[in-house]
């Protein structure tokens, strides 16, 4: 299994959990690491530190219980603001700072953040330089291929990253305009890999072991990043790793293993967010697990009617007892 090196850190493997807002909290990151991910990136945190007093922001801070290296992804447009936020997160235990130049959400792009920054290479250069010179931890970046089909500039941004001392670059194979529509393309990622020497991590529509193998071979990327395919299916990292190592498929997890992981996930959500918010977020995650279960839609509907954690957990126990 190929290792991935980011700055001073050599990872156990080159399978990465993508940062996803509202999803890849510390609970989900720990589960994915337990189930085969070599590296996990936290959900994006605004660089506007004046907003950090909210409970929502605080759940996105670096968590000392996270698997190492602990990574925090920052979203912002001003170099000084990003440096301040990064320094504070490093002081709390962040070991890698990741920059979000990939989010296509309208509310993000309207302030020229996320993937909108790709249209401003000069500003990107200032941001990269400021962070690399101000921090003693590796700085990485996640981008898209460009702003739209007529403005593909991932190679330009990657070269700026390399010249500035960025330690690795992750690329989603869509433009900002694409959002999540259509199919990801890997030619741009392949060309970026040929253009720079820093590690390149490929992202976009990697949902099966076969697709993971294809993307790695086609792009020659140093690693792959899996996002939406891990929802309700954190075992995908084990499955991909096994396939890459053996060329054969790992058996699907048994019902008891699925139940144990789901209950562990729910316990973590209640602890992180508190019971009220935790049970609401549990509905979202359980809905994703249900997509991979027989009678899953029936479980999802019943689960969403419950208004306390004990009842949610009891329903899970009952459901899997009947499956077995």
Question: Where exactly are the structural domains of the chain?
Answer: 5-246, 255-323
Query: At residue 150, does pLDDT exceed 70?
Result: yes
Mean pLDDT lowest for which of 6-15, 176-185, 261-270? 176-185
CB contact set of 175 (below 8 Å; sequence gap of 6+): 115, 144, 145, 146, 147, 148, 149, 151, 152
pLDDT tens-digit series, residues 111-130: 656 788 898 999 999 999 99
Q: Does the domain formed by 5-246 have CATH 2.60.120.260?
A: no
- The alpha carbon of residue 92 and the mean position of all alpha carbons in its chain are separated, in whole angstroms, by 20
Beta strands in 132-263, from DSSP E residues, in sequence order: 139-144, 146-148, 151-152, 168-172, 200-203, 223-226
Which candidate, 223, 237, 203, places its Cα nearest to that of 14? 223
Which candidate, 117, 126, 199, 202, places its Cα nearest to that of 164? 126
Let me know: does 25 contact 14? Beta carbons within 8 Å: no
- Output the pTM of the full model: 0.94
- Indicate the pLDDT class of residue 179, thresholds 50, 70 and 90: confident
Which candidate, 55, 66, 7, places its Cα nearest to that of 32? 66
Four-residue CA torsion sign, 31, 89, 115, 144: negative
Residues annotated as part of the active site:
103
CB contact set of 56 (below 8 Å; sequence gap of 6+): none
pLDDT tens-digit series, residues 19-49: 998 999 999 999 999 999 999 999 989 888 8
DSSP code for 87: H
**Whole-angstrom distance, CA of residue 305 vs CA of residue 191:** 49
């Amino acid at each position: 299994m190929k290792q991935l090196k980011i700055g001073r850190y050599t990872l156990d493997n080159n399978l990465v959990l993508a940062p996803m807002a509202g999803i890849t909290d510390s609970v989900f990151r720990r589960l994915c690491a337990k189930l085969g991910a070599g590296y996990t990136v936290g959900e994006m945190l605004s660089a506007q530190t004046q907003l950090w007093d909210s409970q929502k922001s605080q759940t996105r801070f670096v968590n000392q219980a996270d698997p190492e290296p602990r990574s925090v992804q920052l979203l912002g447009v001003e170099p000084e603001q990003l440096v301040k936020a990064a320094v504070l997160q490093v002081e709390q235990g962040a070991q890698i700072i990741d920059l979000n130049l990939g989010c296509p959400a309208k509310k993000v792009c309207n302030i020229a953040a996320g993937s909108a920054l790709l249209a401003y290479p000069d500003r990107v250069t200032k941001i990269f330089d400021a962070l690399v010179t101000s921090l003693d931890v590796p700085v990485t970046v996640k981008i898209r291929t460009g702003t739209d089909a007529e403005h593909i500039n991932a190679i330009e941004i990657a070269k700026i990253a390399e010249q500035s001392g960025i330690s690795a670059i992750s690329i989603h194979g869509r433009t900002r305009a694409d959002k999540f529509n259509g199919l990801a393309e890997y030619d741009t990622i392949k060309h970026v890999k040929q253009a720079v020497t820093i590690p390149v991590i490929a992202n976009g529509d990697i949902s099966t072991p076969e697709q993971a193998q294809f993307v790695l071979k086609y792009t020659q990327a140093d690693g792959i990043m899996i996002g939406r395919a891990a929802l309700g299916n954190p075992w995908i990292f084990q499955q991909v790793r096994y396939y890459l190592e053996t060329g054969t498929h790992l058996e699907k997890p048994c019902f008891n293993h699925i139940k144990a992981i789901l209950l562990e996930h729910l316990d973590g959500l209640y602890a992180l967010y508190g019971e009220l918010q935790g049970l609401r977020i549990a509905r979202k995650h359980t809905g994703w697990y249900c997509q991979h279960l027989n009678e899953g839609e029936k479980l999802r509907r019943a689960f969403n009617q419950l208004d306390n954690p004990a009842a949610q957990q009891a329903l899970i126990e009952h459901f899997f007892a009947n499956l077995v």
